[in-house]
Amino acid sequence: MEAEKIKQNFKVGTLEEGKKSSILDLKGVSISNFTMNRGKGKMEIGKGPVRTGLTMLYPVSENVWEHSPVCSTFVANGYGKTTGLAQIKELGVLETPIFLTNTMSVGDVWAGAAEYMLEQNPQLAEKGQTVNPVVGECNDGYLNDIYGRHIRPEHVLEASKNLSQDNTEGGNVGAGTGMVSFGYKGGLGHSSRIVEYNEQKFIVGCLVLANYGERKHLRINGVPVGHRLPQTKKEKNDGSIMIILGTDIPLDNRQLDRICRRAPLGLALTGSVLGHGSGDFVLSFSTTNIQSRKGNLIYSSKNVREKGDFLNRVFQAVVEAVAAAVYDALLRAETMVGRDNRRVEALPAGKITEILQGG
**Which letter does DSSP use for residue 347 in this model?**
P
Question: Sign of the CA dihedral 199, 73, 53, 143?
Answer: negative
Residue of 11 and 192 predicted with greater confidence: 192
pLDDT band at 1 (very low <50, low <70, confident <90, very high): very low
What local confidence, expressed as pLDDT, does residue 270 receive?
A: 96
Distance of CA 337 to the CA centre of its chain: 23
Which is the catalytic residue, given 25, 108, 280, 328?
Answer: 280
- Note if 280 is an active site residue: yes
Tens-place pLDDT, residues 13-48? 999 999 999 999 999 999 999 999 999 999 999 999
Q: Please report which confidence band the pLDDT of residue 151 belongs to, taking 50, 70 and 90 as the band edges.
A: very high
Reported as a pLDDT band with limits 50, 70 and 90, residue 68 is: very high
Residue 140 falls in the annotated catalytic set: no
- Under the banding of pLDDT at 50, 70 and 90, the label for residue 6 is confident
Helix (H) or strand (E) holding 115: helix 106-120
- Assess contact for 66 and 187: CB atoms under 8 A: no
Task: Say which range, 107-116, 259-268, 274-283, has the weakest mean pLDDT.
Answer: 274-283
| Cβ atoms 146, 177 nearer than 8 A | no
- Mean pLDDT of all residues belonging to the chain: 93
The answer to whether domain 9-342 has CATH 1.20.120.140 is no
Active-site annotation holder among 21, 68, 240, 284? 240
d(CA 344, CA 192): 28
Alpha carbon 359 to its chain's center: 33
Q: φ, ψ for residue 164 (rounded to 5)?
A: -145, 145
Q: 286 pLDDT exceeds 70?
A: yes
User: 275 pLDDT exceeds 90?
Assistant: no
Active site residue 240: yes
Q: What is the mean pLDDT of residues 143-161?
A: 98
Using the predicted structure, report yes or no on whether residue 235 has a pLDDT greater than 50: yes
pLDDT at 302 (0 to 100): 59
Q: How confident is the model at residue 4 (pLDDT cuts 50, 70, 90)?
A: low
Which positions ≥6 away from 53 have C-beta within 8 Å?
33, 34, 35, 36, 37, 101, 151, 173, 174, 175, 176, 177, 178
Indicate which residue of 32, 68, 160, 278 is catalytic: 278
Do strands 239-247 and 278-292 pair parallel, antiparallel, or not at all (unpaired)?
parallel
pLDDT for position 271 = 94
pLDDT in tens, 194-216: 999 888 999 999 999 999 999 99
Domain ranges of the chain: 9-342
Provide the CB-side half-sphere exposure for 333 (13 A, CA): 37
- DSSP, residue by residue, 136-165: EEE--TTTS-GGG----HHHHHHHHTT-BT
Residue 2's pLDDT is what? Answer: 57
- Give 70's strand partners: 93
More confident residue, 237 or 23: 23
pLDDT in tens, 123-135: 999 888 999 999 9
- Percent of all residues in the chain with a pLDDT value above 70, rounded to a whole number: 94
Does the CA dihedral 33-67-62-322 come out positive or negative? Answer: positive
Least confident of 227-236, 280-289, 326-335: 227-236
User: Residue 296 — very low, low, confident or very high, per pLDDT cuts 50/70/90?
Assistant: low
Specify whether the CB–CB gap between 220 and 209 falls below 8 A: no
203 close to 26: Cβ distance less than 8 angstroms: yes
Q: Above 80 in pLDDT, residue 319?
A: yes
